Amino acid sequence: MLDASLILQLIAAILLPLRQRATLTAVGQDDVPQDDALQDVVAQEAARVLALLNPLPALTGSFPRSEHPSTRHLESAFASGDSATAALLATIRPVVFHLPWRYSYAKRSDAQGLEDNMAFAEIIGPEAPYVSERVCLGLTLIGPNTFYPPHLHPAIELYYVVAGEATWTANGVSIRNPPGAFILHGSQVVHAMRTHQQPLLAVYTWSGDDIRTTSAYTKLGKA
């Protein structure tokens, strides 16, 4: 039986980089460079998520061992870690096979095998072991050389890369993000992801007025 205190340690470790990002000095002046302005939007979202998780919701579920096929990528994901996120990876490792990994979307003929190469482990959320109707928090795992097709959802989404790299595409811009990077998607913004030689392990959060409506795929190439 998994010691629940290990999950609490994991949640605290996940929230630490959000806390560090949220406390960056607010900008907002007209002469602030665009990159800094974007960073500030990330800081605001991190602060919002932290506020929604205070107090932490109650634990009502459990953490049995996962049998999801995507977990075969976890060992190489840990091997592709980075000093920027080493402490968080060390906290994830003891519990990672007991997280609620699942892929909940319908199979796609144009993205064959995605259901075996990608999974989400939602720790906090409407259907997660820690039940919240206000915010989702979990991990995303995507196998190597995998394309997560363009999709959108009402929730505001914040990613934090923990291991591996992936190229995110949104609004016609593609950026390859390493461990330690934050990526923000506004509500209903179409976005896609592509991994490279290593699997990707990333933290995600969802917030906003509707965190229950799941992703809707759009046509390939629209992102």
Report, in Å, the least distance between residue 32 CB and Fe ion.
27
Report, in Å, the least distance between residue 10 CB and Fe ion.
22
Choose one: 24-32, 81-89, 156-164, 171-179; the region binding Fe ion (CB under 5 A): 156-164
Distance CA 16, CA 73 (A): 25
Is position 45 an interface residue for Fe ion (rule: CB under 5 A)? no
State both tokens at 7. Answer: 């999950």
Cross-strand partners of 137? 124, 205
The answer to whether 62 and 131 are in contact (CB under 8 A) is no
DSSP 8-state class, residue 95: G
Choose one: 74-82, 109-117, 122-130, 149-157; the region binding Fe ion (CB under 5 A): 149-157
Report, in Å, the least distance between residue 101 CB and Fe ion.
17
- Between 115 and 157, name the residue whose CB sits nearer to Fe ion: 157
Report, in Å, the least distance between residue 131 CB and Fe ion.
21
Report which residue's Cβ sits closest to Fe ion. 157
Is position 122 an interface residue for Fe ion (rule: CB under 5 A)? no
- Between 7 and 136, name the residue whose CB sits nearer to Fe ion: 136
The answer to whether 100 and 129 are in contact (CB under 8 A) is yes
- Between 7 and 114, name the residue whose CB sits nearer to Fe ion: 114
Report, in Å, the least distance between residue 163 CB and Fe ion.
19
Is position 157 an interface residue for Fe ion (rule: CB under 5 A)? yes
The size of the chain, in residues, is: 223
The residue ranges that bind Fe ion (CB under 5 A) are: 157
